[in-house]
Structure 1
């Protein structure tokens, strides 16, 4: 069985480590986190491995999974390049969505790759059952991406390949759909709060429509899923909403207008008339009053 070391075993690293341990694909060997206590907690979650307090004390391994912060990866690669077991045949890979495998260049002649699971790892226990079926974007050296494709497929993930030069644009798409969706829910809750609706009630109100909207978009596409006042060209409703948002929360009004302009562009690909689109653009482009 091939061996795996994990550096920075947070939510993502712990999830992958446990799934690969449970499938018997890798023997989890050494785990190194910022603190030994954190590494020991990761080891307990994974159910295998040994927590190490330094890079130097980590054992040799066939694969090295790097899941630390993006800003730390380059310096970490420099430190790892000094290890005597950094040789051809070893695979180093990180899971950053924004950075390409090139940030690991210092680790050659080992094989390098990046593997980004398109998944929210907010809760590792939930991710153990929800990660299968998610896609993983791979790029890097051929031998590494081939082997990692097999490793992720073994835990039920789908594989897509991308070019290193497109990594940032790819990740921006993921951020908009995932992180910005979460931010939109928070903005929605702020608007409901201004209307006197408490958070728990607002979340219950939102759950069915948000989930249904997400399903509609995945099934029908955005053009056929868009509903609401902008899609209908309802200028009076949009005007009233902008004015009320400005009076209670200018930031909400600003977000509403900017998103509204993107919404108009989407609605134009449907039945929205050019006259209505022009009037909406004029309204949404106005500064806060």
Structure 2
């Protein structure tokens, strides 16, 4: 399959390399930042372009890997009669944004990717959606060669999955930072919390999170909770988070 990568960031880099490794020919890498386009294109043996007008109309796949707010701009500039499949990789953007193209779809990686961090894509589930059965089958087959965990997923399911990923990844990470700040203030190393973080992550691989919930909220230990609240009084924004999560654990226990 011949491919044009539109974007030069995290997902574009990982997916471009994956397509290239599988033997797909990367024709072009597009970025408004020419230096970025050249950097990725050189790795993929592709042509670097920095204007939409110079994008070939001969590719089998046009892979849009830009920030969500930039997808519409790319879509508006691409020729609407492209014969190749036009896809984006956003978790929160509906497939209908691509409806003007005869063939279109979604390849959504359920993972946070950084181009400077090697990440085995074969361990990542990819949500696949296509404009018709043939397109869906082609995208699914292609992505299952990268990750057997690739699966069919409509736009509503994908949005729900993206929200769930924000809770599981982004929100948990900010809680790690709060924990880091709390212990650092007391001259304690964050390393002391790493075993319990790993233990929790390992447990949810085999059990639903509700089944492994522990702590004062799960036990109904109001005395300990009051001590925690008193300690957090000096940081009202953390106090509010603690109270809200305590309420959620208590509600979920019922």
Cα 1:227/1:123, change in 2 over 3 Å: farther
> Quick one: which of 117, 123, 126 aligns to 1:133?
123
> TM-score, length-normalised on structure 2?
0.93
Cα 1:17/1:123, change in 2 over 3 Å: closer
2:45 maps to 1:55? no
RMSD after superposition: 1.7
2:9 aligned residue = 10
Shift of 1:78: 1.5
Distance 2:135 2:66 in 1: 19
2:247 maps to 1:261? yes
2:153 maps to 1:162? yes
Shift of 1:124: 4.5
Shift of 1:225: 1.3
2:218 maps to 1:226? no
Q: Note if contact 1:12-1:124 (Cα within 8 Å) is conserved in structure 2.
A: no
Shift of 1:230: 1.2
Distance 2:172 2:151 in 1: 23
> Quick one: which of 209, 214, 235 aligns to 2:201?
214
2:82 aligned residue = 86
Residue ranges of structure 2 left out of the alignment (5+ in a row): none
Distance 1:256 1:125 in 2: 32
1:177 aligned residue = 168
Q: Note if contact 2:140-2:152 (Cα within 8 Å) is conserved in structure 1.
A: no
SS of 2:140's partner is helix
Cα 1:132/1:62, change in 2 over 3 Å: same
Q: Deviations over 1:17-52 (max 9, x none)?
A: 11111121x1011001121101112224x4321111
Cα 1:157/1:43, change in 2 over 3 Å: farther
Pairs aligned (count): 252
Q: Deviations over 1:200-228 (max 9, x none)?
A: x21x2222211210111121211221111
Q: Highest Rg: 1 or 2?
A: 1
Residue ranges of structure 1 left out of the alignment (5+ in a row): 269-289
> TM-score, length-normalised on structure 1?
0.82
